[in-house]
């Protein structure tokens, strides 16, 4: 037998068995590899997430978000915008509430009380109610004066003194010579029905306060006139409505100019005052010439806790809305 034949015989006997063993080893290796891969892919909880995905996200709205992820970003953006809008509304509501509770103390700030300030804490009001008759108000305040005098004659009370005629500075000083004046109210009636009502706090000597108040009032009304005139001069008239608006502001400018001139001349423009006095002294003040009425505030009330809207000397019938307005000087 040749060497070739011997080798072929060995191949016929050995190679099939080796191939079988190799195949078995490869199969075992592949089985172990598959088990390892399954252990790596199926971690604790991952099969649960897949189950949830198959159960809830395979159909309905969640399936839409899974298939179109951009839609999710849109929804998130809308939620954020809604939250921002809610926050802005809450902040605005808080600010409005804080503004409504603001108290201006003219004794601390001095000078004129700016328009839009809310002096009221609670519901205490000195002055007539819009829509009432002047006679109704006068009867009510006469009763308040009598009650204050009888209940606490020695108690110090805040009271609103309304005048029957406009007073000039000299007349006011004479009328209030024995009174502690807290505030005065000016109005130049030459400005017409819409003439500004200007309150000024009295922080020291009444005469000095009057002088400064008249200077500020004249300056303020002159500035207002210039502002109105500037608007009139720049307004382009195209329609009838434009002309009507221009005429209205021209009238405002004329009225403000007349008021400024009146204050510069020391007009009789004081129409009310707020005082602090013993209840027993108020009837004597009420008896002075030029005093129309005295309304006494509730016991213990301070000026900073009161909303004051004096009755104008001109008002003898229905109290109109504009009667309660105030303006800056």
As to burial, measured by CB atoms within 10 angstroms (0-12 exposed, 13-18 middle, 19+ buried), residue 232 is middle
Residue 75 has pLDDT above 60, yes or no: no
Domain coverage including residue 250: 113-324
Q: Which two tokens stand for residue 33?
A: 């590899």
What percent of the chain has a predicted confidence (pLDDT) above 90? 43
Helix, strand, coil share of the chain (percent; to 5): 60, 15, 30
pLDDT, tens only, 271-299: 999 999 998 899 999 999 999 999 998 88
In a domain, 123, yes or no: yes
Cβ(126)–Cβ(108) below 8 Å = no
User: Count of domains in the chain?
Assistant: 1
Nearest of 212, 163, 210, 209 to residue 189 by alpha carbon = 163
Interatomic CA distance for residues 232 and 221, integer angstroms: 16
In a domain, 107, yes or no: no
pLDDT, tens only, 217-231: 999 999 999 999 999
Cβ(188)–Cβ(262) below 8 Å = yes
In a domain, 282, yes or no: yes
In a domain, 15, yes or no: no
Residue 91 has pLDDT above 90, yes or no: no
Enclosing H/E stretch for 156: strand 156-167
In a domain, 71, yes or no: no
In a domain, 274, yes or no: yes
In a domain, 85, yes or no: no
In a domain, 103, yes or no: no
Please give the C-alpha separations between residue 116 and each of 167, 169, 230, in angstroms, as whole numbers.
Answer: 26, 27, 24
Taking residue 168's Cβ as centre, other Cβ atoms within 10 Å add up to: 15
Q: Are strands 125-126 and 291-296 parallel, antiparallel or unpaired?
A: unpaired
- The region of weakest confidence among 8-22, 118-132, 243-257 is 8-22
Interatomic CA distance for residues 202 and 220, integer angstroms: 18
């Amino acid at each position: 037998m040749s060497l070739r034949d011997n080798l072929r015989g060995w191949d016929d006997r050995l190679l099939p068995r080796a191939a079988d063993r190799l195949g078995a080893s490869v199969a075992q290796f592949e089985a172990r590899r598959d088990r390892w891969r399954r252990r790596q892919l199926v971690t604790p909880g991952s099969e649960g997430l897949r189950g949830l995905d198959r159960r809830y996200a395979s159909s309905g709205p969640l399936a839409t978000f899974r298939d179109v992820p951009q839609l999710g970003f849109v929804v998130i953006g809308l939620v954020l915008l809604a939250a921002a809008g809610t926050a802005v509304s809450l902040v605005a509501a808080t600010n409005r509430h804080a503004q409504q509770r603001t108290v201006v103390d003219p004794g601390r700030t001095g000078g004129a009380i700016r328009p839009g300030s809310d002096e009221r804490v609670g519901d205490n009001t000195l002055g007539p109610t819009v829509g009432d008759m002047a006679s109704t108000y006068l009867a009510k305040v006469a009763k308040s004066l009598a009650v204050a005098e009888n209940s606490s004659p020695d108690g110090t009370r805040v009271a609103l003194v309304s005048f029957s005629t406009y007073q000039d500075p000299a007349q006011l000083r004479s009328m209030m010579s024995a009174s502690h004046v807290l505030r005065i109210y000016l109005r130049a009636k030459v400005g017409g029905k819409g003439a500004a009502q200007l309150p000024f706090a009295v922080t020291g000597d009444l005469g000095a306060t009057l002088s400064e108040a008249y200077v500020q009032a004249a300056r303020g009304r002159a500035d207002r006139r210039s502002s109105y005139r500037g608007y009139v001069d720049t307004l382009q008239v195209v329609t009838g409505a434009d002309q009507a608006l221009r005429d209205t502001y021209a009238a405002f400018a004329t009225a403000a100019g007349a008021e400024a001139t009146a204050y510069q001349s020391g007009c009789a423009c004081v129409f009310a005052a707020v005082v602090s006095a013993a209840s027993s002294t108020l009837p004597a003040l009420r008896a002075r010439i030029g005093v129309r009425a005295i309304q006494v505030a509730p016991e213990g009330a301070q000026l900073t806790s009161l909303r004051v809207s004096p009755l104008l000397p001109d008002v003898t019938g229905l109290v109109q809305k504009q009667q309660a307005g105030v303006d800056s000087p």
